[in-house]
Each structure stands twice: as C-alpha cells, then as structure tokens.
Structure 1
C-alpha cells in the first residue's frame, strides 16, 4: 500500500509556494507521503508522486494515458512537434525513425569532434584567469552540437541564437508557472517578439536543410544527414518541418543539459578535494596526457561516477509533469482526466529512503551494482519509459570527454564568495553563472595538443 496525503489549508497558497520555490516545496512534500494532493487548477487536481513505483506506473506502465505537462505543451509553440513535445502516434513514429541515429556506432564517430573542440576552447584559457565556467560550458556544448548536427560551425549570429533560446526558455517557464492566463491584449507583445525570434531561427535551420538536400551525395556523418536519410517502414522520409522540429529540439536540449551537468560537476569537484584528486589520478592513469577516445569511456570509471553523482544532486531535468488524458488508477488512487501529476528527480534523488547521507557529494556510492540495490525510478535523470531521453548516451559520452580533456590540463577553483544555488527553469541551471579561477595542473599535461 502507498501512503497518501493532502496539504491542509488553502490550496491556492500551496500552488503559489510551488511556483515561487519549486525545489524547496518538492523536497518538503517528498517527506509527506507517496502521493500528495497539493492543490487544484481549473477544477482539476494536482498531485506530487514521491514513490519510485508510482513514477514507473506513470512513465512505463501507463504512458498512453498521459500527455506532457503544461510546460512542454507551451514549449511546443517554440519547439514544434519534436520528440520532446509530440504525443501519441506522432511521437512513436519519430522515435522509430530517430532511434537508430543515436546508436553507439553513430555517436562513437562524434567523440573525436568533442575532444578537439574542447581542446580548441582551452586555447583561449590562461593560467590564473577567472572565467564564467557555466558560460564556457554552454558555448562549448553549442559548438559541439553545431558540428555534430550540422557538420560545421554556424557562422550566423550565434549570440543572437543564444539569446533567442534563453528568451524562449524563460518565457516558457513563466507561462507554465502562471496560475492564471494573461488577457490576450497583455500577452500580445511578448507573443509577437517570440514569433519574430522564431522566424529568425527557422530561417537559419531551413536554409541548412535546403542546402543539404541539394547535395544528397555528399559525405556527411552529422545528425542532419542521418535525419534526412531516416526512412519509415513504408519508405517515407521526414518532411522539412519534421526535421526542423527535431533539429531545434536536439539543438536546445542537447546543449543545455550537458552544459548544466558540466557546470555542476566542476562546482562539486572544486568543493571536494578528495574527489578531485581521484578524478585526476584516473585521468593520468588511463590517458597519460593524450586526448580521450570513444574506446576510453568504459575505462573512465570514476569519471562516470562523478557524472552520475552530479546528476543525482543536480539533475538537469529536475521535474517531470504529466496530465491525464483519461481516467486511470495510479497506486490505487483514481486519477481523473485532466488531473496533473508531478514527479521530481531533484527530490527523489535526495531521499533518505534510497540514499545514505543524501545531501553529501559521494561519487563512490555508484560503485559496482549500487543502482541494482534501489528501485529503478529512485534514480531517473533521463526520465523513463518510451519517452526516456533519446540522447542520453550522447550526453554521457560528451560530458565524460569534456571533463577528461579539461581535467588533464586545469584545476577549476571557485572564485570569491559567490553563493552557488540552483535556478529551476526548463533545466536546472546555476543561478547567475559560475565564476572560477582556472589553474594549470602542471607541465606534463601540456603535451596534449
């Protein structure tokens, strides 16, 4: 049996607290029961699920009974019908077409690109320099996505593209948090600005698709060519609009989640000297000063544990929302059509039920078969079920390679008295960036060229 609870008092106040401080709210609610009723919106109930088995019931056992939550419904205006926002048969078809493109044999070819672009970024670093590492990781992840997805570095106004993504991310989360919809005349100016930004981004992406279609016999190994060549069982291919939607989804999700995970990992390493020393020792032993390759990834065991622990404490996807499409029973509780269920990786990953000293940064907890000792959905940084993140292996490989290249050359030391705190937008960022001093590790590492 699962425990249930309902927050006492004025439910609108609970939703306001959820809106204003979601991480604090979700962590507190996690201790109250396996399924907690936190309020109502538009006559429909809002629940938070705090038991891994209930998360599994929603994501794995009953996925067709739900659609994406409000935030991603709103994001669909910007992202279109990509894997992140599409539903039903559309999502199943796209997933079927794209899955082979993320097989290990494809993404393995990107490892060299990831390493070389990271090395090129380091050419701009100077010993003792203070840098916004979150910004650097974001720029690097964008650079890698541009190369692996489009086959070249985008020469258009990259800063403007970054601002468009940032603007739409913040606008999306603001709309999702709103308890009431703004009147159309008040929202018109923001909507017009968003549409103008989207038109600019579409112009760039559609031009890339058209250029590639004009050279079908070109030898390209990037994701754009893979998507153009993907064929359904009946021989049909994706339309330009479908490819556009996938590219913009991968572009945004593919760089933001990696950049955030990297920034949080550098922060955690800077605060824990023992972990940092173990990280360096592994890099020196496995790589000995050379660039990492795809074949090195399985050997970087402690590096993988660092990433897993970073994603436990600060998962880029910090919460999943689902809205019931039909009446369904979850954990013995009747869920009505229109009810919303929230499941928080951030709160679940910090549960005392599944993690000893959950607030402690301890990469070694992921040694050996630890994940087999806890319920499957006590740890779910990439979601789960048929909608599990399709790029999870790409992201893990990219993160490991970047850590290895940078870690062989530099120690990253947190600068000043900046308070580091998470900012829960579409992904979990470091609020205000991350200022760090970059210090050369020693002369031996300078052999990496």
Structure 2
C-alpha cells in the first residue's frame, strides 16, 4: 500500500488485504469523485477489492464490501469503532439522540428508547397503521392518477404522528413535513460536498436553510410535548412512553433529549418507510409475476377483510417483497465508523482514526451474495426454496449493538400498508426509469406517477 494513500497495515491472517483505491487530489482526496455520485463511486471502489483505501478530504478511509468484514464493523461498534462526528447539518436536525450518541450516553438513551418499540408496543400500533391506510384507500378510485411519493409520504406521516404523538396532527403537519424535506436534502448535500470539511462555524446558505428547518421542527415537537405534559392522561403513544421512561438512577429524559428522540423516531417511522414503499410500488409495477404472487397471498390470507398484526407473520410473500425492495433500494445506503486503537477488520489492523465505510447499495447488489443481483425476485427470501444469503450480505437496518431500534416497527408498517392497498388496487407506474438519489435516505430522483387500477379479486371457495 502506497504511503500516499495512508499508513501501512498489520498482519493479514485471513487472506484479506487493503487494495489502493483511485488516485485522489491533494487535500480533497477522492471527495470530488464521491460527491458527483456516491453510489457509483462505491461501486467503483468495490471493483478494486473487498477492502479498499481511499481519502475523504484529508481523512484516511477504508471501504469494506465483504459481508464477514461488514459484520465485524457492525458488531464491534462501541468496542473497536466509534460513531463518526457527523456533519453540522445532521446534528442540527438530529441533535444528540440515540443514533448519534456514543458510549455510556448511548447505552443510557438506548435503554430508555428501546421499550417504546418492542414487539408488544408494535402490536399496539398495528391497528393505527392499518386503519390509517384504509382511510387512504377509501379516497382512491379506479382510473385516478396519483403521485406515489406524495401519497406514501402523507400516509406514513399520518401514521408517525398518530403513533408517536397520539394525535391526528401536530400543530402544523404540513410545515413539519416541508421542514423534514429541506433537512433531508441539505444533510445529503453537506455530507457529499465541501461542507463536510468546513468547520461548524463557517456560514453557508445550506446551513442557514437547515437551521430554519430545524427551528420549525423544534417548534412543532415542542408544542406537542407541552400538550402531552398538560394532558395528564396515560396514553399508548411513543411520546408518552418516552416522557415516563426512567434510567437506572431514576432520571427522566430532559426536554432536549425528548426532542432529539422524538425527531429520530419520526424520521425512522416516516421518511424511511415512505421511500421503501415508493420503491416497492415501482418494482411491483414492472414485475407482473411478483405482483400476481402478492395478490394471490393477500386473497388467500385476508379474503375480504383488512390485515391486523397477527396477519404479519402469515404474509410471508409480502414480507419478501419488502425485503427484496430494501435489498435493491436500501433506504439507509451506507454505514461508517471510526477505528479506535487496536481495531481490526478481516484480520487487518485499522490505524486509529481510520474511517471505515460500507454501503448497503453495493453489497446488496453483489452477484457473489445475490444471484441475478439486478433482478427483483422476492422468491429469493423463501425460507425453504430461496437463496442461501450470507449473514451481513443484507443489512438495511444496520446490525450489531447499534441496529436500528425501529426495525420491527418499519417492517410491520410497510407490510400492512402494502397489504391494505395491494388487496384493493394495482398501481400502474408510468413508463421510464426512476433512479436513486442518496440524501439522508435513498430517494427517487423524480415524481413517481401512477394510474390506480381497481383489482377484481378471485373469491376462494369455503
């Protein structure tokens, strides 16, 4: 490994080695290549090997593409790898919530937030998920033209508001939605651009926009939290559980911590599920066989009734559709950590301070782990007849101690929404390719317009 791209590495007992990546520029390193198209850049790195060195500005980085090594990165977070110091745009919106916190503070916050999204609690939210979707379905009619992005965003926002806040809308749901859109876009721009190298105190137009968006988010969350505190009644929503949670010392979350965790849960329950559903409708519209298999399962399991939580386990193909969608279009498209002293990946020493990156987009589309990687094949997730999938070859929710706390919530929500709507309708997405844009989450690069087609269900005997 050349001295230009970083320091020498240690022993390599498992056969892994760090390959040099594409040549970078002085000071900027490979940042211009990364900024132009992060997904294509990571794919290019994968062509160099499973462990590839590159530079993000002056920072020495290693890109990891092998599932075994990805598993080490994820499972050794907190012990061997730190969370990176994320940009000012990200921190302005997310604060210091459980996604950002480190060490003892992270463990405390996780212990307080985790009970709110355990299976028992997710069961209690399922009726809201299905009921909100039925309300949307009742407004659709055959032949209608819709913007799927807008429809799914409005639906998952409604579900998030009802399950998190326990009300139909916060003080101004539309304002909060617009602020979240601005925040997501600006976080993506700063992360991939020169803003990632600028000190926090340097003013930029993007940072001004994100401060304004964060102020709206803070105001709306603050109003709803105040309403909860004044209400006095015990409620089953996530916010109520956060307000009453206590740590091992008997201390509650502070107002600032409540704000940070509420925003984290809102983004996890709204933004990520919304984009996953958009990609699912897009893929189903272009795969008649998968669409027919989904309809057959819905007719067989549900008949003429709406789904509930207990149906989730029976809707195996619907789960596979969501999993396959998350394979091809993972909402969270990268993970990263900073090596502590003594850290290793694949038996190779990672010098302290090295930033280790991995991308779900790249590994999920690697033909070594997924035959026909570009094909949408939900059947590959069949427990009996599907592909043998290596551990950590699929990691849309991360993994290890910092795995996404809302994984169960997100999967149940996506499956129930898909079941309610696909039982009644097909969405015929307009011709043309929709590409991904890596912002805070992986978003479609344009409107996803579709024609609603009412289904004629096959009634089953008995």
Please indicate the TM-score interval, normalised by the length of the shorter structure.
over 0.9
Counterparts of 2:453 and 2:140, CA distance in 1: 9
Give the 3-state SS of the residue equivalent to 2:373 in structure 1.
Answer: coil
**Aligned 8 A contact 1:71 1:173 in 2:** no
Query: Which among 219, 231, 244 is matched to residue 215 of structure 1?
Result: 231
Deviation at 1:190, TM superposition (A): 4.0
More helix by share: 1
> Is structure 2 residue 130 aligned with structure 1 residue 108?
no
Residue number in structure 1 paired with 2:261? 246
Output the TM-score relative to the length of structure 1.
Answer: 0.93
1:4 aligns with 2:10: no
Report the equivalent of 1:428: 442
Paired residue for 2:10? none
- Which whole-Å CA distance do the structure 1 matches of 2:343 and 2:200 have between them? 34
- Specify the SS of the correspondent of 1:376: coil
What secondary structure is seen at the aligned counterpart in 2 of 1:368? coil
Structure-1 separation of matches of 2:178 and 2:302 = 37
Kept after mapping to 2: 8 A contact 1:15/1:38: no
* Distance change >3 Å, CA 127–CA 337, structure 1 → 2: same
Taking a change above 3 Å as real, the CA distance of residues 31 and 371 of structure 1, as seen in their structure-2 partners, is farther
Q: Structure 1 residues 369 and 86 mapped into 2: Cα distance closer, same or farther (>3 Å)?
A: farther
The 3 A distance-change label for structure 1 pair 40 and 412 is closer
Q: Deviations over 1:45-85 (max 9, x none)?
A: 11110111111211103433333345466412221111111
**What is the rounded CA distance, in whole Å, between the counterparts of 1:50 and 1:115 in structure 2?**
37
1:404 CA displacement: 0.4
What corresponds to 1:34 in structure 2? 50
Residue 39 of structure 1 deviates from its aligned partner by: 2.4
Q: Is the 8 A contact 1:284 1:408 kept in 2?
A: yes
Deviations 1:277-320 (Å, cap 9, x if unpaired)? 11001000100021101011111011111111111111101111
Structure 1 Cα separation of the partners of residues 457 and 389 of structure 2: 43
CA RMSD in angstroms, aligned pairs only: 2.2
Residues 339 and 355, structure 2, Cα contact 8 Å, conserved in 1: yes
Q: 1:409 to 1:58 in 2, by over 3 A?
A: same
The 5-angstrom pairing of residues 313-392 of structure 1 reads 313-368=328-383, 373-392=388-407
State the 1:334 CA deviation: 2.8
- Alignment partner, residue 264 of structure 1: 279
Determine if contact 2:80/2:339 at 8 Å carries over to the other structure.
yes
Counterparts of 1:371 and 1:88, CA distance in 2:
39
The SS at the match of 1:397 is: helix
Are residues 121 and 352 of structure 1, via their aligned partners in 2, closer, same or farther at CA, if it must alter by over 3 Å?
same
Displacement of 1:186: 6.9
Gaps in structure 2 of 5+ consecutive residues:
1-14
CA distance in 1, matches of 2:205, 2:287: 47
CA distance in 1, matches of 2:262, 2:429: 35
Distance 1:126 1:51 in 2: 47
1:66 is matched with which residue: 74, 78, 81? 81
Provide the residue aligned with 1:139 in structure 2.
154
Relative to 1, partners in 2 of residues 1:71 and 1:289: Cα closer, same or farther, differing over 3 Å?
A: farther
TM-score, structure 2 as length reference: 0.90
Distance 2:332 2:182 in 1: 19
Give 1:338 deviation, angstroms. Answer: 2.6
Distance 2:71 2:386 in 1: 15
1:372 to partner: Cα distance: 9.2
Asked whether the equivalents of residues 52 and 62 of structure 2 are also in contact (C-alpha less than 8 Å), the reply is yes
Indicate yes or no: 2:89 matched with 1:89. no
Q: CA shift at 1:158, angstroms?
A: 2.2
8 A Cα contact 1:264 1:314, kept in partner:
yes
1:142-291 alignment runs, 5 A limit: 142-179=157-194, 181=197, 187-216=203-232, 218-291=233-306
Do the aligned partners of residues 423 and 98 (structure 1) sit closer, same or farther apart at CA in structure 2, a change above 3 Å counting? same
Deviations 1:341-380 (A, max 9, x none): 1101111011111111111111101111689943311111
User: Alignment length, in residue pairs?
Assistant: 442
Partner of 1:437: 451
